[in-house]
Amino acid sequence: MPVYFSKVVTGSKGVYLPFLSLHVSGVSLWAYLMSTTVFCVVLIAPILGALSDYLALRKFFFSFFTVLGGTTTIGFYISYPGKIWFTAALVFISYLSFLLAEVFYNSFLPAIVPKDSQDLVSGIGYSWGYLGGALLLGLYLILLSLFNRKIVFSEYRILRVCLASAGLWWLLFALPALKLLPRDSLSSSAEKCELTFSMLCFPFGRIMKLRIAMLFLLAFFFYNNGIQTVITMASIYGSHYLRLQLSNILLALLVSQIVGFPGALVFAKASKQYGTKNMLIFSLIIWCLIVCYAYFMNRSYEFFILAAIVGFVIGGSQALSRSFYSKIIPLDMSSQYFGFYAIGGKLSSLLGPFVFGLIFDITHNFRYAVVSTLAFFVIGLLFLVKVPYNQSKQTA
């Protein structure tokens, strides 16, 4: 989607933003759109998380945002070239829904899995997600190869079919979770009334008291800046800087998805022997090396090497981040605490791509934009080292 939006929907001329009196490229507009969406998630995720815990609405919110996100993703079929703001609106709603559904999806982990199994189950969840992504990307590559010479006709219909089918895929494979995940029990009405008032001003005071969670969220905020920037901007980097064709970018993403399957499992199993924190530190060291490698690469085959390394480490770092956090938060407040996890993770999704887009607009140099992500990984690593390793789950 980033390549289609920045090169086809927006076009080479970019777009003028009258409210900012600024003309921006499709690359920067995509980065700003991602940042705006994440900013909205940061504002509402903790409130929805608190409502979820106190009113037993976790499964309702998860179902609602899953259906909304899948439906709007199907709408990409009518995101024709030149329909910039319509497509931007679809991107905003679908991405917003995905991020919010993910908050409640993550909060189910400590509720349905014993503490000593959370690393493994979290890793398995990510590994199967990467396997499913690899299968879908493989189908896309087959379609694009079959319609290779007709891809520009009918206003990029085959690309729009691929984008819309992701929504159908999302809804189809969400059905087991929508049906089988348990509903929370509702608290007493008196307790509900009391907590409903306090939850709107929640949690910043409460999360500050849980030092280990706050320290981890600071670390996660910074290093996830780098991870999310790689996720959202890698395809644009390959397309605009390395001049890769869309089919080659999809192939590289397929490689990343395939490698992500064993990668998440390897990190999850290794955490039992070496510890979750140590494996997270190891993954961040690899991320620093990835950024350095990306800065110096200038050949197309190097993009595939990069994709393989990223695929191997990304699932492990994400899965262990989620499971480590789930062990140190109160079980009965998991949704609201994962709302803050969304802030730590998704606010970083705002800052990283924004800095990437800003540096590119100022310097017009992709390498300078890429190297900016290194600072996020280093700062995150420094905070993570200070998180108490042997401390068990606390109460807020």
Distance from C-alpha of 142 to C-alpha of 225, rounded to nearest angstrom: 33
Helix (H, G, I), strand (E, B) or coil at 364: coil
Q: Which residue has the tokens 């089988």?
A: 180
Query: For residue 22, what are the contacts with CB-CB under 8 A and spacing of at least 6?
Result: 16
Other C-beta atoms closer than 10 Å to the C-beta of 92 total 16
* Cα distance between residue 325 and residue 329, in whole Å: 7
Q: List for the chain the helix, strand, coil content (%; round to 5).
A: 80, 0, 15
Residue pair 95/342 in contact (Cβ under 8 Å)? The answer is no
pLDDT at site 97: 92
**Residue 2 confidence (pLDDT):** 67
The token pair at 140 is: 């896309």
Q: Give the end-to-end CA distance of the chain in Å, rounded to a whole number.
A: 40
CA-closest candidate to residue 49, choices 102, 125, 91: 102
Q: What angle do CA 4, 5, 10 make, to 5 degrees?
A: 120
pLDDT, residue 78, reads 84
- Phi first, then psi: give them for residue 4, nearest 5 degrees: -60, -45
Q: Which residue has the tokens 């980033």?
A: 2
The kind and range of the H/E element at 17 are: strand 15-17
DSSP letter string over 105-135? HHHTHHHHS-GGGHHHHHHHHHHHHHHHHHH
Going by C-beta distance under 8 Å and a sequence separation of 6 or more, which residues neighbour residue 63? 178
Q: Print pLDDT tens along the chain (396 aa).
A: 766 776 677 766 767 666 566 667 767 777 777 778 878 887 787 778 777 777 778 888 989 999 999 999 998 888 877 777 788 888 899 999 988 888 888 888 877 777 777 788 888 887 888 788 778 877 877 777 776 555 554 557 777 788 888 889 889 988 988 888 888 765 544 344 444 445 545 455 555 556 777 788 888 888 888 887 887 777 776 666 667 776 677 777 778 878 877 888 888 888 888 888 889 999 999 999 988 888 887 777 788 888 888 888 888 888 888 888 887 776 666 666 777 777 766 666 667 777 877 887 787 777 787 788 888 899 999 999 888 755 444 333
Q: What is the pLDDT of residue 393?
A: 43
C-alpha span between 322 and 389 (Å, rounded)? 15
pLDDT value, residue 291: 86
How many residues appear in the chain? Answer: 396
| 366: nearest Cα among 253, 250, 234, 246 | 234
Class of domain 2-385: mainly alpha
Report the distance separating Cα 348 and Cα 225, nearest Å. Answer: 4
- Give yes or no for a contact between 338 and 106, defined as CB atoms under 8 angstroms apart: yes
Q: Are 68 and 97 in contact (CB under 8 A)?
A: yes
